[in-house]
Amino acid sequence: MSKMKKFIYGAGIIFLMLLDTSCNKWLDLSPQDGITRQEYWKTKEDIKSAIIGCYSSLIASPVGVTDRKVTEYLFTWGEIRADMISASPLATIDDKNIMEVNIVASNGLTKWAALYRTINYCNTVLEYAPEVKNYDPTLTDEQLNAYMGEALTLRSLMYFYLVRTFRDVPFKTTSTSKDTDLQELGTTSASVILDQLVADLKTADLAVPVTYNSTIATDKGRITKVAVETLLADVYLWMEQYDNCIAECNKVIAYSIANPLKLSLIGGSNAWWTLVYYNGSSRETIFEFANMPSTDNGFNAILVNSAKRFIASPSLVESVFIPDDMDLSNRDYRGDDVSFSSTSSTITKFGVENPSYVNWQAYRYSDVLLLKAEALAVKDQGAEALAILSSFRTTRHAISSTAQSPDPTDVAGICDYILAERSREFAFEGKRWYDLLRNAKRNNYERLDILLNMVSGTVPSTMQQTAMNKFKDVNSHYLPINEADIFADTKLIQNPFYK
């Protein structure tokens, strides 16, 4: 294990132990009374350890907590309702019910505690870090603001996933660090939360560094200015604020042009997966959840071993990674034998060993290019969008069988082309459902057909009509609040589709 990873692991575990609790309430994720104020927040090193603890919570649960990891939730929420994975014979009833659009509030995959745990850690930093100025005169305003910017960005990322998955959710920006902080929370509308995320990310963008002037792994595994701007671009695209999305993408692209060795696409080759995923911290990565070799590979259990719950959809070879009929040896290197096996249907994107060194790629430079292309297409700048897509596919050595030629004035056709390319680029990275939903809901669900067509290819024929009828109610596009949370918090308001 590298010195950096040892530090992250050690500091993270210490902080997570400080924040652990025995109570089962989903938001009661705090240290015992007194620890936070009186014993911990004294030096700038305490703040740094706390920030590393926030990052560590993304890839490992606290001591004594048996919940799924954050990354497993992000994968599941982003893929299970879409069209790129299928249920294996050992999939759970909860898995199958979501895939068959038979979702109820008791489904265990609707639990959100893992993400709120990270949110609470970030809130704790934001609340207590400023007090360190009273004890440590070596802590500068610049350092403090940078730490606060990291916490704001990580919290925003967690809330962005929650809003896209559940829509209206509890929104808490203060820490739960002692018994008197416990309170029932109602839900806050998604639009209000998204507006706050924009404000928080703008604040963070002014505070976090361009680089940590350390190893490249540090710049990829911690929040930097380009990570903030990429997340903000994604939020703006979801909010249908296309000019703002393009503006944020342009900031990242300008940085790439000026610093190609630090941020740029890696050309198409069989080494791509090794460089980006296995080795990690590649020049293509913007922000990754840096894995720790001593941590079990959670994806091994659900995607690889004999008891795996999910497999690659059989349709991928026919509709996503389409073979080259003229040259069967010519294939998209992002697909077969890299992301999945066409013979066994095993999903190999996150490695086949346990423990795994593969990092979770939250954002890569390819995301920025394709987000900008989508925003341009919707703004009737189709020619520019297609130029970005063409250049991207050339760098990726995408094969001709997946090429399309939509008219530059055909907004729907260009967006469909971008959506198809995103399916190849981000296969199994927890983005597919959000990509489909974002395109479907645009302009007051102008493209609901995207979701209805997906159902026809993923749900058993005997259930398709029922599933389509459900999908015609836009409330069904978001998961229910888990019934245990509804019972525990009387102020929570259930998604009306599940009442």
Q: What are the pLDDT digits (tens) for 244-273?
A: 999 999 999 999 999 999 999 998 888 999
For residues 129 and 147, the answer to whether their CB atoms sit within 8 Å is yes
Chain mean pLDDT for the chain: 90
pLDDT at 3 over 50: no
Residue spans per domain, the chain: 1-80+104-181
pLDDT of residue 18: 46
Report the C-alpha gap between 468 and 483 in whole angstroms: 25
- Cβ-based neighbours of 492, under 8 Å, separated by 6 or more: 170, 184, 185, 186, 187, 481, 485, 486
d(CA 115, CA 92): 22
Helices (H), 379-448: 382-396, 411-425, 432-445
Q: pLDDT tens digits, residue range 369-395?
A: 999 999 999 999 999 999 999 999 999
pLDDT at position 40? 85
Question: Which pLDDT score, from 0 to 100, does residue 7 have?
Answer: 40
Q: Give the whole-angstrom CA distance, residue 215 versus residue 67.
A: 32
For residue 181, the model assigns a pLDDT of: 56
User: How far is 379 from 100, CA to CA, in rounded Å?
Assistant: 35
What secondary structure does DSSP assign to 127-159, as a single string? HHGGGGGGT-TT--HHHHHHHHHHHHHHHHHHH
Q: Residue 339 above 50 pLDDT? A: yes
Rounded average pLDDT over 82-108: 97
Q: Taking the mean position of all CA atoms in its chain, how far away is CA 109?
A: 16
CA 30 and chain centroid, separation? 24
The per-residue b/e assignment along 78-113, b for 16 or more CB within 10 angstroms, e otherwise, is: bbbbbbbbbbbeebeebbebbbbbebebebebbbbb
Most confident of 26-30, 95-99, 331-335: 95-99
347 beta partners:
340
User: Higher pLDDT residue, 21 or 36?
Assistant: 36
The tens digit of pLDDT for each residue in 401-448 reads 999 999 999 999 999 999 999 999 999 999 999 999 999 999 999 999
Question: How far is it, in rounded angstroms, from Cα 384 to Cα 182?
Answer: 51
Contact 495, 167 (CB under 8 A): yes
Please tell me the class of the 1-80+104-181 domain: mainly alpha
Token pair, residue 349, equals: 């994107």
Q: What percent of the chain has pLDDT over 90?
A: 77
